[in-house]
Amino acid sequence: MSILEENEHLEELDRKYIWHPFTQMKEWTEETPVVISEGRECFIKDIYGRWYLDGVSSLWVNIFGHRKKEIDDAIKKQLDSIAHSTLLGLSNVPAIKLAERLVQIVQMSLRGQKTNSAFLFGNPPIPPLVKGGKGGLCKVFYSDNGSTAVEVALKMAFQYWRHKGIEGRNCFLSLNNAYHGDTIGAVSVGGVDIFHKAFGPLLFKTYKAPSPYCYRCEFDKKYPDCKLACLSGMEEIFKAYGYEIAALIIEPLIQAAGGMITSPPGYLKGVRELCTKYNILMIVDEVATGFGRTGKMFACEHEGVVPDIICLSKGITGGYMPLAVTIATEEIYSAFLGEFKDLKTFFHGHSYTGNPLACAAAIACLDLFDKEKVLEGLKFKIEILETWLKDVLNLRHTGDVRNAGLMAGVEMVKDKNTKEPYDWAEKMGWRVAYQAQDKGVFIRPLGNVIVIMPPLAISDQNLNQLLRVIKEAIVAVTEE
Ligand SMILES: *Cc1c(COP(=O)(O)O)cnc(C)c1O
């Protein structure tokens, strides 16, 4: 077979055998799929040798670019020891070392101290725990993707109250426009109609708090005159139904998949205060925001918030391997302690829990955060991005621009004065993405919101290139 024939054969096999996620397969099979065969730094290459800038960090996971030597080496080295062993009834070396590192970095970060995970194994000791939601995150439960990290958190929170002898806390509070993953529990606490409504009859009961979506405020108010009406809306639910609620779950600072919706200053802190006031556990889903995306190691740092449970995944291995953790406080963990016969065990676990290869990659990643001073290096890139966003806001069909660090969204509207959105079926976001793809930039929109989410290690030059192409594509599609 010639190379061309081989490539066409691959495309044929893709159409024949793969069912792609979040994809209308009728459309997909009518087009030619882009098949990726290689990556280098912030670029990915297809089988025809065309390079694309990876503007979505390979779906929000990549941090240091592709083929990062230190992560490659860590995985290869681990491969020479063992690829996988279980945490059910056994432990393994990388899982242990990573758990310690994660607890240290979470505790340091969420206490407002300098983020520095460069400790030798076991030294210095973790600072003493402060209970009651303050710095007490210390028990690491492994799983392998963001949705399972959320499932684990929900089940932990639910059982916590049972074990404390408190009945009736059978539901959760989540937000409109929330996205926490695609498994049924995660969908139950989701609030994006297009993804979630179809499964309505299968979902468990949740209360939905207003989304802190200033551009399309549910109360028709303006920040700061609104005095955070969305928070008052949440408090009303706590007041009326708090006794039924096991936990609140929230994406801190930015509702990502819901459309890059950033919350106004003070909102997240206010949510923490409400949870404390009404004695509701606070679960933060930092699956998207964790590991530097928002400019700090964790989004909660921006408002000095310490949750009761934190979910981490996407960037944890630098975008190399599927891995997730749910980290709980000592208070929650200890509620599960008891005699074997008490059945207080946390009955949950996955086949690939604590996979050694993935944990080795994650350790290499944390080393890189220290070595390459990633967080410090972000400041200038965020400035570039914010300057560009201000510029793009002047375009005829840009309704709103939003960002939390290096995660950004441009909301395109049909009519800027009335904020009338483009009809979803017009696929405006996709049309912009296809334009950009023709110019060597791969992005993936969320409806009418153009998402900008490059690897954190992107060079200033490549970032400028990414932004230039995206702006051209928006202009070409909306002002044609
Ligand atoms: C992506 C995402 C998830 C789900 O993670 P998967 O690994 O895709 O299951 C959960 N929560 C948030 C905030 C996410 O962005």
Three-state DSSP class for residue 225: coil
Going along the chain from its start, the domains and CATH numbers come out as 34-63+375-478 (3.90.1150.10), 77-371 (3.40.640.10)
How far does residue 247's CA lie from ligand 1's centre (Å)? 18
- Specify the pairing of strand 407-415 against strand 420-421: antiparallel
Interval between CA 288 and ligand 1 midpoint (Å): 6
Using most ligand atoms within 8 A of CB, pick from 286, 313, 326 the residue to mutate for ligand 1: 313
Q: Is 201 exposed, middle or buried (0-12, 13-18, 19+ CB in 10 A)?
A: exposed
pLDDT tens digit at each of 480 positions of the chain: 899 999 999 999 999 999 999 999 999 999 999 999 999 999 999 999 999 999 999 999 999 999 999 999 999 999 999 999 999 999 999 999 999 999 999 999 987 544 333 333 333 333 333 334 444 899 999 999 999 999 999 999 999 999 999 999 999 999 999 999 999 999 999 999 887 788 999 999 999 999 999 999 999 999 999 999 999 999 999 999 999 999 999 999 999 999 999 999 999 999 999 999 999 999 999 999 999 999 999 999 999 999 999 999 999 999 999 999 999 999 999 999 999 999 999 999 999 999 999 999 999 999 999 999 999 999 999 999 999 999 999 999 999 999 999 999 999 999 999 999 999 999 999 999 999 999 999 999 999 999 999 999 999 999 999 999 999 999 999 997
Query: Whole-angstrom Cα distance, residue 442 to residue 90?
Result: 42
145 lines ligand 1 (CB under 6 A): yes
What CA dihedral angle connects 66, 71, 77 and 81, to 10 degrees?
-100
Contacts of 462 (CB under 8 A, 6+ apart): 42, 53, 454
Find the angle CA(76)-CA(312)-CA(158) to the nearest 5 degrees.
130
CA atoms within 13 A on the CB side of 308: 25
Neighbours of 115 (CB within 10 A): 19
Ligand 1 within 6 A of 256 CB?
Answer: yes
Atom from ligand 1 closest to the CA of residue 59 = 1
Q: Record the pTM.
A: 0.95
